[in-house]
Structure 1
Amino acid sequence: MLMKVIKSSEICSLIKDGDMVFYPGITLGGFAEESVIEIEKSFLATGHPRDLTVYWQSGVGNRGDRGFAHMAYEGLLKRGVGGHLKGCGPAVERLAGENKAEIYNFPQGVMATMPRYIAAKKPGVITKVGLGTMMDPRQGGGAMNQKARDAEDLVEIINIHGEEWLLYKLPKIDVTIIRGTYADEKGNISIKKEGYQLGQLALAEAAKACGGIVICQVEKIISSGAIPPKEVKVPGIMVDYVYVAKPEYHWQTAQTVYNPVYAGEYKVPLDSIPLEKLSPRKVIARRAAMELSPYSVVNLGVGIPEAVSSVATEENVLHLLTLTTEAGGIGGVPANKHDFGCCWNADATLEMADQFDFYDGGGLDFGCLGALQIDEKGNVNSSMLNGGGIGVGGFMNVAGGSKKIVFTTIFCGGMEARLGDGKLEITREGDIKKFTNALEQISFNGELAIKDKKEVMFVTERAVFELTEAGVELKEVAPGISIEEDILDQMDFMPIIKDVKLMPAGIFNEKWGGLAEVMERKMKG
């Protein structure tokens, strides 16, 4: 079939009720947003298409009303399987929480690599990522609500050579809707201005392997031969339909229309990047950064971990590290907030699936991740809060592939503090305990991490803990903090207490300047 140019309003005529649709995307990057707007319009006007099964790679949207939020309707969505929920916005979280569709969450690395397994007609994604966690069928198999738990089991435990593995089942794709920058008249697709490589080729191949169709959103159609062969991301023989999007639905990320630095067109002085302001979040990032070793390959998760890159830049140690993002960035400084996954001054931008292969294979020296809840065994919940599904994104792949893991969190949610003079003063205690044995889900299994001989730490603004074979041990407290009142009284379990030291006083001041010295000591051994 020759590629056909269509209007976005024609997309709904190509999607049948009950179809399975697979989307790439992270924030709004690589996401064909105009297609979901047209699907939403059609569903609200006619009730069709309906009962769709939709797979998506990551948090797709602006955590508000854009992106995948346009698909969050009862009746429109029968089943959703995604790498993240909260990033898709409140409408998706409500759809899951109110049990109006079957909602599953799989690790982002599974979602990223899944298309190439479908393309090659493999039996499934077979991995140890997720064993002993909420992905394990013995703990829910990734189901995020009762409707999913009552539906099909999408994850199986299999045994290979005496070892347990998880097998994530593969869907049969009817439609994939990808995005590029340009399409030529033969349907060849370039992603020249994209900030990410999100498996566009693998998804096109997967759809073709299933007998499905490939639709591509672009910003412009250009003449045949205008795209150099090595810049063709998806050849036209795999593309059935192309439409030109309105500019407002073709943003590079959820907060940036277009930044040529993210596309790798040029680099900028790093001192032009905004730095983190002093706050408990920055204190945590500084203390976490002290666990970095020179020449480490590093991944920094969303939230507090994002601030670690700002600290490393401000402290002039960035040249000693290689920061990476799960979306494929190598080197430079990871962008934060709704530009998450892009990089300032990246050395390379890999396919997201290739990056996850590197992670899953143990390529990370250091991973810094956020945590919602931590129990006495070092298990961590990062995927569910107050019964609402958040999702894990790349959390499990980073935790599984890192030799050293530092989890970061505010000690009690809702706290307020005064910083300065080398100490921390709690001015209002928070009312949400993070150190509790009542985990809503297990996103990280502490006992398995100990068996795998991983170094695991938990860093907060007032205390630092280490995971040992005996449990969670208190190692440091902030100057100005009472162990009894400010730490033990705010935990639901008693940590191991042996030799407790003070956290470095300098990290509580406006200016620090101590990270380079920490790194230098490590280089000297």
Structure 2
Amino acid sequence: MAKFISAEQVIKYIKDGSTIYTPGITLGGFAEEVALEIEKSFLETGYPRDLTIYYPSGIGNRRDRGFAHLSHEGLLKRTVGGHYKGCGPALEKLVKENKVEAYNFPQGIVTTLPRNVAARRPGIISKVGLGTFVDPRLEGGKLNARTRECEDLVEVIQLENEEWLYYKAPKFDIAIIRGSVADENGNISLYRESYFLEQLSVAQAAKACGGIVIAQVEQVVKAGTLHPKEVKVPGIMVDYVVVAKSENHWQTGQTYFNPVFCGDIKVPLDSIKAAPLDERKVIARRADMELFPGAVINIGVGIPEVASAVTAEEGISHNLHMTTEAGGVGGLPAGMHDFGCCYNADAIIEMGHQFDFFNGGGIDVAILGIAQVDRHGNVNVSQVNGEPIGCGGFIDITQNAKKVVFCGTFTAGGLKEQIADRKLNIVQEGRSKKFLADVEQVTFSGKYAVSVGQNVMYVTERAVFELTPEGVELIEIAPGIDLDKDVLELMDFRPIIRNVKTMAPEIFQELPGVVAKVFQSRNSL
């Protein structure tokens, strides 16, 4: 039966050199009070140290919370995670300065890895990551020079004359998980959590490895009072329970608790403020013109978040099935540090099962951001100017969606634009090009996309491109834009030019309606 301990006592059970798995996305599902005690002990005594930590996503508020508590030289030996920038600048600094071994793997791989460890399988065999920086023929997911001297955690193998990636399973000594409440027998419920992560599979994985499970909760309830269906991690799989302070048990990176995010209530979606008319909204509108009634879609962070808001403004969101990588289905995805949550979700499923759906081709249209695009149609979002950002769920989603619409401004850094009279005017050009001869890191492989016949578009405020077997083709430019001066001269490669059309002038006006018009016309096809 589980033993209830104080947060300070956790340190007794964490040995030097342990391999730990901790779920989390933003601050959701992350046992922050346990992390605080690990940090406190290390800073005061130098122990525990040399930990290897597996984690699925960006954990924290991108500053000083979440994984930031664990990001100390000496405390960490190795990290294997889905995202790095989301964990805060302290971890990024350790990676850049070669003070930690750092592997970056697709979020769907990391989140389903414990399930395979729990069943004592040797690892995961998947096509996810082929042709990207995760492929060992490129970088093997290794983020710095120190890691390049370490073992390969992923290999290319051949099965029935097909290439696959084999991600090796580790041995977990400790699982650190989080739930909402525990009963007196250690049964864990997640009823106030905004995400169902890999809490159960992580606990099972640790037990299969002969390890221990530490669970952080916010409250203890009487034995027998939890409905059996509410128990997501049975007490037989939990060794120690820590009751946390509320300030260390946030639902997301910016919200302590919102009943909407766990499905307790629903709110009117027409209360969501319309985005202002700027280049971001223009891009979002053009991307949304690729949607169709009944489509299952996934929308990323940044400009794609505006695409989500535009569907509500255009009155078409109710005819779409939006998804989040954290497990939300239906409703409207939340943005910023509430990322992964949904307003008015139809369902919230476990993140690992959501990625099974994604990797099985369940997404009709994915709308995600871009940092760089090259002549081969490759996209980079995971490393810019040597900064270790991380891929998150980007590779799983973009590699397997039936159609991918990449979104971003044409240049970056100081870009200023004006929209008037249904035209686009460049006031000040961005300092950095985004369309390069070769991307800094391959997060999306154009070659792989072409090989499987995937439909791929690149949407900016002034030009729209399409990936073809011959290369990247320019298919539209914005009204008011000079093709040579504002587009071609700012690219490090020349796209295919055959039949360039003008982007719909209506997306450059204040009033909505053009997206809904295109959307409804597809309904009648």
Q: Which amino acid aligns with 1:343?
A: C
The alignment partner of 1:137 has SS state of coil
Q: Which residue of 2 aligns with 1:351?
A: 350
Q: Which residue of 2 aligns with 1:378?
A: 377
The alignment partner of 2:436 has SS state of coil
Instruction: Report the alpha carbon displacement of residue 159 of structure 1 after superposing the two structures with TM.
Output: 1.1
Q: Which residue of 2 aligns with 1:145?
A: 144
Asked whether the equivalents of residues 131 and 447 of structure 2 are also in contact (C-alpha less than 8 Å), the reply is no
Q: Which residue of 1 aligns with 2:367?
A: 368
Give runs of aligned pairs for residues 495-514 of structure 1, distance below 5 A: 495-514=495-514
Give runs of aligned pairs for residues 165-184 of structure 1, distance below 5 A: 165-184=164-183
CA distance in 2 between partners of 1:214 and 1:353 (Å): 19
Q: Which residue of 2 aligns with 1:281?
A: 280
Q: Which residue of 1 aligns with 2:154?
A: 155
Q: Alpha-carbon deviations, 1:357-413, whole Å to 9, x = none?
A: 011011111111111111111011111010111111111111122110001111100
CA distance in 2 between partners of 1:11 and 1:432 (Å): 48
Q: Which amino acid aligns with 2:115?
A: R
| Runs of 5+ consecutive residues of structure 1 not aligned to the other structure | none
CA distance in 2 between partners of 1:131 and 1:343 (Å): 31
Q: Which residue of 2 aligns with 1:317?
A: 316
CA distance in 2 between partners of 1:178 and 1:420 (Å): 52
The alignment partner of 1:138 has SS state of coil
Instruction: Report the alpha carbon displacement of residue 512 of structure 1 after superposing the two structures with TM.
Output: 2.2
Give runs of aligned pairs for residues 296-311 of structure 1, distance below 5 A: 296-311=295-310
Give runs of aligned pairs for residues 4-19 of structure 1, distance below 5 A: 4-19=3-18
Instruction: Report the alpha carbon displacement of residue 419 of structure 1 after superposing the two structures with TM.
Output: 1.5
Asked if 1:515 corresponds to 2:515, the answer is yes
CA distance in 1 between partners of 2:302 and 2:143 (Å): 22
CA distance in 1 between partners of 2:102 and 2:386 (Å): 13
Q: Which residue of 1 aligns with 2:119?
A: 120
The alignment partner of 1:472 has SS state of strand
The alignment partner of 2:501 has SS state of strand
Asked whether the equivalents of residues 416 and 428 of structure 1 are also in contact (C-alpha less than 8 Å), the reply is yes
Instruction: Report the alpha carbon displacement of residue 140 of structure 1 after superposing the two structures with TM.
Output: 1.1
Give runs of aligned pairs for residues 25-424 of structure 1, distance below 5 A: 25-414=24-413, 415-424=415-424
Q: Which amino acid aligns with 2:84?
A: L
Q: Which amino acid aligns with 2:473?
A: E
Instruction: Report the alpha carbon displacement of residue 510 of structure 1 after superposing the two structures with TM.
Output: 2.3
CA distance in 1 between partners of 2:510 and 2:8 (Å): 54
Q: Which amino acid aligns with 2:297?
A: V
CA distance in 2 between partners of 1:432 and 1:182 (Å): 49
Q: Alpha-carbon deviations, 1:420-447, whole Å to 9, x = none?
A: 3211111110011100023111111111
Instruction: Report the alpha carbon displacement of residue 464 of structure 1 after superposing the two structures with TM.
Output: 0.3
Q: Which amino acid aligns with 2:438?
A: A
Instruction: Report the alpha carbon displacement of residue 278 of structure 1 after superposing the two structures with TM.
Output: 2.2
Q: Which amino acid aligns with 2:431?
A: D
Q: Which amino acid aligns with 2:221?
A: I
Q: Which residue of 2 aligns with 1:449?
A: 449
Change (3 A) 1:275 1:226: farther
Q: Which amino acid aligns with 2:336?
A: K
Asked whether the equivalents of residues 300 and 368 of structure 1 are also in contact (C-alpha less than 8 Å), the reply is yes
Asked whether the equivalents of residues 116 and 202 of structure 1 are also in contact (C-alpha less than 8 Å), the reply is yes
Q: Which amino acid aligns with 2:157?
A: I
Asked whether the equivalents of residues 375 and 438 of structure 2 are also in contact (C-alpha less than 8 Å), the reply is no
Q: Which amino acid aligns with 2:261?
A: Y
CA distance in 1 between partners of 2:352 and 2:508 (Å): 39
CA distance in 1 between partners of 2:424 and 2:16 (Å): 58
Q: Which residue of 2 aligns with 1:434?
A: 434
The alignment partner of 2:403 has SS state of strand
Asked whether the equivalents of residues 134 and 441 of structure 1 are also in contact (C-alpha less than 8 Å), the reply is yes
The alignment partner of 1:233 has SS state of strand
4+ residue runs of structure 1 moved beyond 4 angstroms? none
- TM-score normalized by structure 2? 0.99
Asked whether the equivalents of residues 158 and 166 of structure 1 are also in contact (C-alpha less than 8 Å), the reply is yes
The alignment partner of 1:364 has SS state of coil
- TM-score normalized by structure 1? 0.99
CA distance in 2 between partners of 1:152 and 1:45 (Å): 32
Instruction: Report the alpha carbon displacement of residue 95 of structure 1 after superposing the two structures with TM.
Output: 0.9
Asked whether the equivalents of residues 398 and 404 of structure 2 are also in contact (C-alpha less than 8 Å), the reply is yes
Asked whether the equivalents of residues 16 and 49 of structure 1 are also in contact (C-alpha less than 8 Å), the reply is yes
Q: Alpha-carbon deviations, 1:28-85, whole Å to 9, x = none?
A: 0000011111111111111100000001110101111111011111111000011101
Asked whether the equivalents of residues 403 and 456 of structure 2 are also in contact (C-alpha less than 8 Å), the reply is yes
Q: Which amino acid aligns with 2:486?
A: D
Asked whether the equivalents of residues 420 and 510 of structure 1 are also in contact (C-alpha less than 8 Å), the reply is no
The alignment partner of 2:390 has SS state of coil
CA distance in 2 between partners of 1:263 and 1:319 (Å): 20
Q: CA RMSD in A?
A: 0.9
Q: Which amino acid aligns with 1:395?
A: F
CA distance in 2 between partners of 1:94 and 1:283 (Å): 35
Identity of aligned residues (%): 58
Paired residue total: 524
Asked whether the equivalents of residues 477 and 483 of structure 1 are also in contact (C-alpha less than 8 Å), the reply is yes
CA distance in 2 between partners of 1:124 and 1:326 (Å): 22
